């Protein structure tokens, strides 16, 4: 895929509408790379002028701060802020709630002030503006879809409606899990848990969440976060349902349905 970088835009004396912040998972995790490609496909189709930082992007520092290493967090954040301010970036869209939360709520105190939008909200804006048109007879029409609220989009930033509105556009039947919205259950990966050994307990958090999702009878579990994606996929496997229940990001669902 041919995607222009901020450096290429700057060299031509231009600036894009948005900077797409890819994030570590979206760059390096094989499963999350598919989410990145799906989102970029949508942006290309609707004609949004966007850029990425490419090799100039580094981790936001979220896992370091959550794990208690404030020094590394500040170092990473200041490096990123220097790069972003150098390009005079105003608007950032990211498909990772962890990047979203850090860029939006934690960078301002270090001098990084940007309009930061999660891709769920951005997709909803594109649908509302009539830029995203759906196929009449889509493959998800009438299918049961359940949606998992990620902690950093939901409880941390109070964004519950945008992703659900995006799913409504698919003409599917949205079935909620008992624990949803502000009462949602974590997938088990937040707070840097993704990168450390688990502690002893009676069950894994993602197995518990996997059971809840499968119990809804949905054939698709919609997610908005690459960490949740990994955890929920493992939870579905533990239930032996990986063939009948698909875990997909909302960008992948829209990319399959877009005209």
pLDDT tens column, 35-92: 999 999 999 999 999 999 999 999 999 999 998 999 999 999 999 999 999 999 999 9
pTM for the model stands at: 0.92
Evaluate the CA torsion angle 129, 135, 136, 137 in order and state its sign: negative
As a whole number, mean pLDDT of residues 197-221 equals 84
Q: Say how far apart CA 181 and CA 143 lie, in whole Å.
A: 21
Mean pLDDT computed over every residue of the chain:
91
pLDDT at site 211: 84
Average pLDDT over residues 107-118: 96
The pLDDT value recorded for residue 95 is 97
Furthest-apart CA atoms within the chain: distance in Å: 58
Residue pair 148/189 in contact by the 8 Å Cβ criterion: no
Beta bridge partners of 147: 222
Mean pLDDT in residue range 133-142: 80
Q: What are the structure tokens assigned to 109, written together?
A: 């105190």
Q: DSSP per residue over 229-243, as a string?
A: HHHHHHHHHHTT-TT
Q: Which residue has better confidence, 189 or 161?
A: 161
Band the pLDDT of 242: cuts 50, 70, 90: confident
Q: Do 32 and 231 meet the contact criterion of CB atoms below 8 Å apart?
A: no
Nearest to 152 by CA among 245, 21, 62, 43: 62
Domains and their CATH numbers in the chain: 6-124 (3.40.50.1860), 135-257 (3.40.50)
Strand pairing of 173-174 and 144-147?
parallel
User: Which pLDDT score, from 0 to 100, does residue 15 have?
Assistant: 92
- d(C-alpha 197, C-alpha 90), whole Å: 38
Measured between alpha carbons, how far is 46 from 41 in angstroms, rounded to an integer?
9
Rounded mean pLDDT of 160-166? 92
Q: What are phi and psi of 139, to 5 degrees?
A: -70, -10
- Per-residue pLDDT, averaged over 229-250, amounts to 90
Does the pLDDT of residue 198 top 80, yes or no? no
* 153 Cβ contact list (under 8 Å, min separation 6): 97, 100, 101, 118, 120, 159, 163, 224, 225
């Amino acid at each position: 895929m041919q995607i222009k970088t901020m450096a290429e835009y700057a060299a031509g004396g231009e600036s894009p509408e948005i900077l797409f912040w890819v994030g570590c998972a979206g760059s390096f995790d094989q499963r999350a790379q598919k989410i990145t490609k799906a989102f970029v496909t949508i942006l290309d189709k609707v004609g949004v002028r966007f850029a990425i930082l490419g090799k100039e992007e580094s981790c936001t520092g979220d896992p370091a701060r959550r794990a208690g290493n404030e020094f590394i967090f500040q170092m990473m954040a200041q490096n990123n802020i220097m790069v972003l301010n150098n390009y005079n970036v105003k608007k950032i869209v990211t498909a990772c709630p962890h990047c979203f939360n850090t860029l939006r709520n934690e960078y301002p105190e270090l001098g990084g002030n940007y309009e930061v939008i999660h891709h769920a909200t951005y997709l909803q804006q594109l649908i509302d503006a009539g830029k995203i048109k759906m196929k009449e007879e889509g493959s998800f029409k009438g299918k049961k879809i359940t949606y998992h609220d990620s902690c950093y989009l939901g409880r941390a930033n109070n964004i519950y409606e945008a992703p659900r509105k995006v799913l409504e556009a698919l003409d599917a039947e949205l079935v909620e899990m008992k624990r949803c919205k502000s009462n949602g259950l974590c997938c088990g990966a937040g707070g840097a848990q993704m990168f450390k050994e688990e502690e002893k307990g009676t069950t894994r958090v993602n197995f518990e969440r996997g059971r809840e999702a499968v119990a809804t009878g949905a054939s698709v579990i919609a997610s908005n976060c690459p960490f949740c994606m990994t955890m929920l996929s493992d939870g579905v496997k533990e239930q032996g349902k990986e063939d009948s229940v698909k875990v997909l990001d909302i960008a992948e669902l829209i990319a399959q349905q877009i005209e």
